[in-house]
């Protein structure tokens, strides 16, 4: 994994360590990070995004405590072996539901049509 794969938004209301942790959870759940894949070092991520290394360390430690990551001696952090059934579609949806709720609420507040919001989301997904 390249450190620049993470998208950090310093001005977002969500703490940076949570942004990192949630993105890594989604990358693992979506299969973009497989069991045994190593993550960039704390220093590499911190340098790439101009953030405090302790912020990255906090995210990695949280994911290690959850069993998403594991420390490998001499290699750093890697994606841990997942228990069977951990990456079910329902669990992946659980990771994105809060974001969908936020988009739906904001679209209603801005009086945007559901069809237009869906079309824009579809377009963005194809671009990524």
The pLDDT value given to residue 9: 92
- pLDDT of 62 reads 95
Alpha carbon distance 94, 124 (integer Å): 20
State the Cα angle at 104 between 99 and 109, rounded to 5°. 125
Q: Which two tokens stand for residue 37?
A: 């894949």
Most distant pair of Cα atoms in the chain: their distance: 53
What is the model's pLDDT at position 112? 92
Of 37, 36, 35, the closest CA to residue 5 belongs to: 37
Can you tell me the distance from the alpha carbon of 69 to that of 37, in angstroms, rounded to the nearest whole number?
A: 10
Residues of the chain with pLDDT under 70: 83-87, 128
| Structure letter (DSSP) for residue 119 | H
CA dihedral 61, 80, 95, 47 (to 10 degrees): 50
Residue whose C-alpha is closest to residue 38's, from 65, 75, 7: 75
User: What is the model's pLDDT at position 87?
Assistant: 64
pLDDT digits (tens, 9 = 90+) for 77-96: 999 987 545 567 777 788 78
pLDDT of residue 58: 97
pLDDT of residue 51: 95
What predicted TM-score, i.e. pTM, was given to this entire model?
A: 0.70
CATH numbers and ranges of domains, the chain: 3-79 (1.10.10.10), 89-127 (no CATH)
pLDDT at residue number 89: 79
């Amino acid at each position: 994994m390249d450190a620049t794969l993470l998208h950090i938004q310093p001005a977002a209301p969500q703490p940076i360590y949570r942004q990192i942790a949630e993105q890594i959870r989604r990358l693992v759940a979506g299969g973009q990070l497989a069991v045994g894949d190593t993550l960039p070092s704390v220093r590499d991520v911190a340098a790439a995004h101009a953030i405090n290394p302790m912020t990255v360390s906090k995210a990695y430690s949280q994911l290690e405590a959850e069993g998403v990551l594991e420390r490998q001696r001499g290699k750093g952090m890697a994606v841990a072996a997942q228990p069977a059934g951990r990456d079910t579609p329902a669990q992946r949806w659980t990771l994105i539901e809060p974001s969908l709720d936020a988009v739906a609420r904001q679209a209603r507040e801005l009086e945007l049509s559901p069809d237009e919001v869906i079309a824009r989301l579809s377009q963005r997904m194809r671009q990524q």
